[in-house]
Structure 1
Amino acid sequence: MKISKLQKKMGQFTLQIEELYLESGKVHGLIGTNGCGKTTLSKLIQGILVPDGGRIDYEGLTPRDITMTTQRPYLLHDTVYQNLIYPLKIRGIRPDEAKMDAWLERCGLLQKKNQYARSLSSGEQQKLSFIRALVFDPAFVIVDETLSNLDPDSTELFEQLMREQQTKNKMTWLLISHQLVHVRKICDQVHFMEQGNVLVSGTPEEILLHPSHPSIRRYLADTEVSYRENEKNSEI
């Protein structure tokens, strides 16, 4: 996916990306402070927002090929199973119940298959949202802070699922996250945003371990302080 001269003004905020290339089949990390435009960019990619200018070259992808999962997922007023198969239904794909059960089993939700989805815990809802985004084998997946505030086992599960999908299907991922440990572990490329712009792109080592730009160094320092404060508060 090639993005060039992309513009979107929303109130006092302006997103303006001169150039961004999201190579297909790779896991891309998108990082930056709150309010820098990460979610706005993801909504432009999905077509939820219409750009004021510029171009997104989808390189053959259609809206049916793109999906997204968020930190606070929207679930239908229905069962866990009906939520899971919803992406298949709207695409006219007949669900294979055995395969759907395997997805649920993998996330520890099989016994809750017929339970009202919104009665799940927040962590279980995130798991359901994540596998729901994968059941139709999408080509492009946006993960917007889904790894935030998860227990270590759930985080490891999500990372394993992403690796397995890359082995099987080579999807393109856009991982929006403040969890830099996970970004470093699973991303092939990292893109740093500041004030509506993509400032620098590079490998995880270049961006997170050997940052050359002072804005990135400040961001990493602030993120480390925030991480340590959260760790301290969790012990109280």
Structure 2
Amino acid sequence: MLKIIKLEKKIGDFQLNVKDLSLEEKTIHGIIGNNGSGKSTLIKLMTGLLKPDTGVMDFGTLTKRDIVITAPRPYMLHDTVYNNLTYPLKIRKQVIKKETIMEWIDRCGLSGKEKQYAPSLSSGERQKLSLARALIFEPEVIFIDETMANMDPDSVVLFEQIIFDIQSKKPATWIIVSHQLTHIYKLCQCIHFMDAGSILASGTPDEILLHTDNPVIRQYLSKYTIGN
């Protein structure tokens, strides 16, 4: 169980205050809410990219090497697609198997581009490479911050299937921030709704997205369509 207790962070006029949040391990969690509600700030705190003003984050025996985060605008190493994928394995001194690298390149629709300069890829291709690079070393905890926002629908479906495949073989803990509610509903087992820097509600996808009585959440949901 990943636990957060009395976490506070002030950035300008914004105040994040998460009193108590427990994230069950080997579960896919979704974090949703309006822009400015604190979703990205929360996961930056959880991954160590920001330091909290106060509070406790208990990740048990996990270290930074067990955790990965992907961003809305992923950074590409100024190198080839292939070497971008080998990098997380190198820094963790894991064995690099060419067949595994090529399998991931093929799997995320980048076949034939292994020698291409990664920053020259299209926006959607960089997003796919970013996700593949995050997953290739089999992390314990994966934070996804709007990384699928610029992907075409087929690529979103592809990575949904990759996530389900991972969960069926070697489950990880996922924390996914997204405004794509159909995607969140399909993937997540638990959803946390943020409002004004706090967790307003947590529950199953049905409880939060389909049957909530909370007026703030209902107002948020009125802007979106949850389809198949």
**Percentage of identical aligned residues:** 53
- What residue identity is the alignment partner of 2:143? I
Cα distance in structure 1, aligned partners of 2:105 and 2:201: 38
- Which ranges of structure 2 fall in alignment gaps of 5 or more residues? none
Is 2:34 the counterpart of 1:43?
Answer: no
Query: Can you list the C-alpha shifts for 1:38-65, whole angstroms capped at 9, x where unaligned?
Result: 0001111111111111100002111000
The match for 2:75 is 74
- What residue identity is the alignment partner of 1:34? N
The match for 1:25 is 26
Cα distance in structure 2, aligned partners of 1:101 and 1:110: 8
The match for 2:123 is 122
Report the count of equivalent residues.
225
- What residue identity is the alignment partner of 1:151? D
- Which ranges of structure 1 fall in alignment gaps of 5 or more residues? 228-236
The match for 1:2 is 3
The match for 1:160 is 161
Is 2:108 the counterpart of 1:101?
Answer: no
Cα distance in structure 2, aligned partners of 1:170 and 1:22: 14
The match for 1:232 is none
SS of the residue 1:222 aligns to: coil
- What residue identity is the alignment partner of 1:36? S
Query: Can you list the C-alpha shifts for 1:71-114, whole angstroms capped at 9, x where unaligned?
Result: 21100100001111111111111311111110111112131001
The match for 1:202 is 203
- What residue identity is the alignment partner of 2:218? R
- What residue identity is the alignment partner of 1:99? T
- With structure 1 as the length reference, what TM-score do the two structures score? 0.93
SS of the residue 2:224 aligns to: helix
- What residue identity is the alignment partner of 1:210? H
Query: Can you list the C-alpha shifts for 1:11-55, whole angstroms capped at 9, x where unaligned?
Result: 110100011111000000000001111000111111111111110
Cα distance in structure 2, aligned partners of 1:181 and 1:130: 19
- With structure 2 as the length reference, what TM-score do the two structures score? 0.96
Cα distance in structure 2, aligned partners of 1:8 and 1:71: 22
- Asked whether the equivalents of residues 123 and 150 of structure 2 are also in contact (C-alpha less than 8 Å), the reply is no
Q: How large is the RMSD of aligned CA atoms in angstroms?
A: 1.1
- What residue identity is the alignment partner of 1:114? K
